[in-house]
Amino acid sequence: MLSVSQSLSLCVFPEGASLGYVGVGNGHFYKFVTGGGNSWQESAAECDLAFGSLFVPESFAEFEAVRAYRDRNSLGGTLWVGLRYDVNYPVDIHRIETHNREDGVFCATMVDSKDHIDYSDCGASFDGKICKLDPKFV
């Protein structure tokens, strides 16, 4: 008998549709959740429950593809993404920051159609989040 996680790993979600994920034209699938009001930690936990994680851009091109999709579909507001400069993002490797960092624990957001990320207090509440579907479910 298969466990739940083994059964889920065998599932294929075309276009991520059954989980609310959409393709943005780069081979990855994202879920744009608005109307949130959750902290970064709560948003990360919710993405985990939806078979993904908070979106962490793997390249500048991926960041731009997600930003362009938001613009085309009017998904404005401040949305949490999965970067925390004190943990997994020690330098601006994709050139998507345009401001100086401060010492402390800050989590990343994508704000409207800005061409960079912003950092805010991880406990703050914002408009929503961007989840990225775990590739094993595609």
Does 14 fall in a domain?
Answer: no
Q: What is the number of domains present in the chain?
A: 1
What CATH number does the domain containing 50 carry? 3.10.100.10
Please tell me the pTM assigned to this model. 0.78
Does 36 fall in a domain?
Answer: yes
pLDDT digits (tens, 9 = 90+) for 43-58: 999 999 999 999 988 8
Does 97 fall in a domain?
Answer: yes
Does 11 fall in a domain?
Answer: no
Q: Are the C-beta atoms of 9 and 136 separated by less than 8 Å? A: yes
Share of the chain above pLDDT 70, in %: 72
Handedness of CA 102, 129, 127, 40 (dihedral sign): negative
Does 4 fall in a domain?
Answer: no
What gap in Å lies between CA 120 and CA 63, rounded to an integer?
A: 18
Does 77 fall in a domain?
Answer: yes
Q: Mean pLDDT across the stretch 85-113? A: 64
| Nearest Cα to Cα of residue 82 among 112, 52, 114 | 52
Least reliable range by pLDDT among 3-7, 41-45, 85-89, 100-104: 3-7
Q: Are the C-beta atoms of 89 and 113 separated by less than 8 Å? A: no
Q: What is the predicted pLDDT for the residue at 51?
A: 93
Q: Are the C-beta atoms of 130 and 55 separated by less than 8 Å? A: yes
The parent domain of residue 60 ranges over 20-137
